[in-house]
Structure 1
């Protein structure tokens, strides 16, 4: 069903699957339908059971189809930042006829040239992002089509990810009867749509407080520079409430949503509410203050770990401050707590579309908005990637569909994103790639500093 005006975003989250059907009318995204179902087969943002995940996706899509009245075939899928890497790339091709204008085919050829990389067998190219084209030595060109020259070059970045993660996403979507027309890196889509022009330009930290994990991304100079993933999110807060209060997970989630505060200072000792406790026939009374202390303890842990990582690359000094989004960002007092812990100005992003006014819907809305705002040259470069890399049968039988999850909190990886349907490096670039592949926080400082200088 996907055409130049209609887009469907699919957010495969740890706690829920969200589907948004939207129509782009003169630059304005109008949401036509929404599906929201509980997730199965997903752990910390990664699909670990393809059969269960595909069933959850199908239920969410059915719901979106019913509400929008539109049959969904193609979807734009978000991919988490786990273990994604950014690497510089460059390519060059000769133009056969000096009098001929540079065409779409030439752009595709130079893109394929730039994607020639010696990748490890377990990794795959997710996306190619053009930074500039060079025609006969004239650089800074955004779209070379229609120009004349004898040599066309492209400089940009490629995003690579683990084949297993990418395969499991495609396989689950295909098994749900859908076509993953584009797999887009979630932090990039959010950063390019949630943040305003000034925040993208001068530099801002975007923190997505999800159910299964927390992702912090640095956007500067209109580019995604850095991403780190903490393996704890809203689910851990719910588990803490359940364990401390000796109540069921369902009851813990309900009181968190109805009475929870992220900052205990904001909560009242006098306001009490009932909660079911295992082993007791009658509910007990609990104060908002006590519940907030449980919640704040976990949020503090998450913020402290992220703060240390961001401080190591001087990201907390960026003038744009911090923007919070994701389901946990709906907790009252979250911005005040974050401002205190990060010592920075903080705001919470909430979509303003009717029916989506909750931060948990920021990702699926960002996916469709990002795709709709892609330039012609970005779409053209993306089509080159699809023809070269993504031509694979994901409905075929595979011996092992399982995914062995690494601890996301132990992996600090660069990340960026992938777009939608319709070379050799010099020594300096090899040095950058080498630094990206070596662990330790010091690498991030050097890598980040290089982008800013």
Structure 2
């Protein structure tokens, strides 16, 4: 595992594009600079206009470069889980007629053997994650290098996505003058970064409430096992507010950020605020509770659809419950609403870095953290996917040893209380879940 390095995480979201430059020293993440710009060219989490998206990426990167006093070349970019396919794969290579030490190239070769398959023309490999290596029948090996053997095998998980999504993302990054050195399925990076060891091991649902879409991912046994994406998110809430209150989208977004509650029972009917209504010369007073009812209605619609998908796999019986992240997770009362909708324990994940204490920064931070925690074997295996023989250790070049500027304060960072309750009897459900789905 890398103990030091400087990396750049690029989160291309529907609402905003975030770039985080961070130094990974002895397992500790030190943020050096942040870029946060409004997105363009995206719809429901997918790039639909490469030119506009690349220009927005350039603006975010430029801001991060100025803050960190560095020049950015290589980035770790997140890929959405839209129509993600996860499947187990295995490969085997002969080391030679006589036993010899296994090398880096042997690891690359066995990884390449594992991904030799007839992929449909519309799909592309994003990540290959090794589970174990087997040397001459001895299994459970994490790093086979320097061991002696005549046959090397690897079992792992292959993650593929629609070629359109993967290509457009990488193309927009390249058009912005950057090298997408490493692409990572977003929930994989988030699961490793924001879930505790126990949550990753025993099973947890990671619910990313983004601007353009909502992603429910199941992490179990330290692996991403399932992902479901609903193409609705914070932008849909904004549009609902705009339509119901007959106000502009810009005003609707401000109302959501400044006065919005996810749980209408926590909003006050007595507190009101003025709203500029189209066609009226004077503002109209709207109650806090009425606004919350608009927000709550859309959220419950999203949750109902995801609940049906998660219930079909018994994911809601996992002991880790639900962990919330994404910009919409900053809405007050969100944990109470999710707890009521899914009937599981809930907590909100908020980064603890100064200036980034808002759930919308989780993804960009997770990308940097994921790269910092990748072992040498992980990098060798991934290089078989990318064709890059050696993923660089350092992804940015420092221009001047100037101190980092203070980090920007995110918009309306509000504390969301997390209340949990003891899970109900789940023993039988967990056993069934393990036998029916993951195993």
| TM-score, normalised by the number of residues in structure 2 | 0.88
Q: Does structure 1 conserve the Cα–Cα contact (< 8 Å) formed by 2:89 and 2:155?
A: yes
More deviation in 349-358 or 271-280? 271-280
- Rounded Cα–Cα distance in structure 1 between residues aligned with 2:303 and 2:122: 32
Give the structure 1 partner of residue 350 of structure 2.
350
Residue of structure 1 equivalent to 2:14: 14
Q: Which residue of 1 aligns with 2:87?
A: 87
Match in the other structure for 2:438: 452
Q: Which runs of 5+ in 1 are unaligned?
A: 392-418, 423-445
What is the distance in 1 between the residues matched to 2:436 and 2:126? 23
Counterpart-to-counterpart distance in 1, 2:300 and 2:436: 31
| Conservation of the 8 A alpha-carbon contact between 1:20 and 1:33 | yes
State how many pairs are aligned: 400
Aligned equivalents of 2:68, 2:330: Cα separation in 1: 26
Partner-residue secondary structure (3-state), 2:148 = coil
User: In the alignment, which residue of structure 2 is the partner of 1:41?
Assistant: 41
Q: Matched residues in 2 for 1:420 and 1:52: separation?
A: 29
- In the alignment, the residues of structure 1 paired with residue 79 and residue 239 of structure 2 have an alpha-carbon distance, to the nearest angstrom, of 25
The alpha-carbon deviation at position 451 of structure 1 amounts to: 4.8
Contact 2:314 2:433 in 1 (8 A): no
C-alpha contact 1:7 1:21 (8 A) present in aligned 2: yes
Query: How far apart in 1 are the matches of 2:222 and 2:283?
Result: 52
Query: Do the aligned partners of residues 284 and 420 (structure 1) sit closer, same or farther apart at CA in structure 2, a change above 3 Å counting?
Result: farther
- Counterpart-to-counterpart distance in 2, 1:249 and 1:224: 36
CA drift at 1:308: 1.0
Q: Judge conservation of contact 1:382–1:421 (CA < 8 Å) in 2.
A: no
Q: CA deviation at 1:95?
A: 1.3
In the other structure, the counterpart of 2:304 is 304
Query: Counterparts of 1:447 and 1:147 in 2: how far apart (Å)?
Result: 37
Task: Give the whole-Å Cα distance in 2 for the aligned partners of 1:204 and 1:110.
Answer: 31
Q: Distance in 2 between matches of 1:109 and 1:207?
A: 36
Q: Secondary structure at the match of 1:71?
A: strand
Q: How does 1:107-186 map to 2 (within 5 A)?
A: 107-186=107-186
* Kept in 1: contact 2:4–2:27 (CA 8 A): no
For 1:231 and 1:126, locate their aligned partners in 2 and report how far apart those are by CA, in whole Å: 21
Which residue is equivalent to 1:72?
A: 72
Q: How much does 1:99 deviate?
A: 4.2
Return the alpha-carbon distance in structure 1 between the equivalents of residues 130 and 193 of structure 2.
18
Q: Which residue of 1 aligns with 2:216?
A: 216
Contact 2:128/2:156 (8 A) holds in 1: yes
Aligned mates of 2:354, 2:96 — CA distance in 1: 53
Distance 1:295 1:163 in 2: 34
Measured after TM superposition, the shift of residue 83 of structure 1 is 1.5
- What does 1:319-358 correspond to in 2, within 5 Å? 319-358=319-358
Following TM superposition, by how much is the alpha carbon of 1:264 offset from its aligned partner in structure 2, in angstroms?
A: 0.4
In structure 2, the CA distance between the partners of 1:449 and 1:235, relative to structure 1 (3 Å rule), is farther
Match for residue 259 of structure 2? 259
8 Å CA contact retained: 1:99, 1:148:
yes
Distance in 2 between residues matched to 1:38 and 1:306, nearest whole Å: 27
- Matches of 2:20 and 2:343 in 1, distance apart? 35
- Aligned partner of 1:233 in structure 2 is 233
Contact map agreement 1:316 1:342 (CA 8 A) in 2: yes
State the partner residue of 2:360: 360
List per-residue Cα deviations over 1:205-262 (Å, max 9, x = no partner): 0000000000000001111110000010000000000000010000000010000000
Q: Is the 8 A contact 1:93 1:110 kept in 2?
A: yes
The corresponding residue for 1:197 is: 197
Following the alignment from structure 2 to structure 1, what is the Cα–Cα distance between the partners of residues 34 and 260?
26
Runs of 4+ that moved beyond 4 A: 419-422, 446-451
The alpha-carbon distance between structure 1 residues 194 and 222, as it changes in their structure 2 partners (threshold 3 A), is: same
Cα distance in 1 between the residues matched to 2:83 and 2:66 = 36
Cα deviation per residue 1:261-291 (whole Å; 9 max; x = unaligned)?
A: 0000000111111111111222221111110
Aligned counterparts, 1:424-439, within 5 A: none
Contact 1:183 1:420 in 2 (8 A): no
Residue 166 (structure 1) shift: 1.2
Aligned mates of 1:14, 1:235 — CA distance in 2: 9
Query: TM-score with structure 1 length normalisation?
Result: 0.86
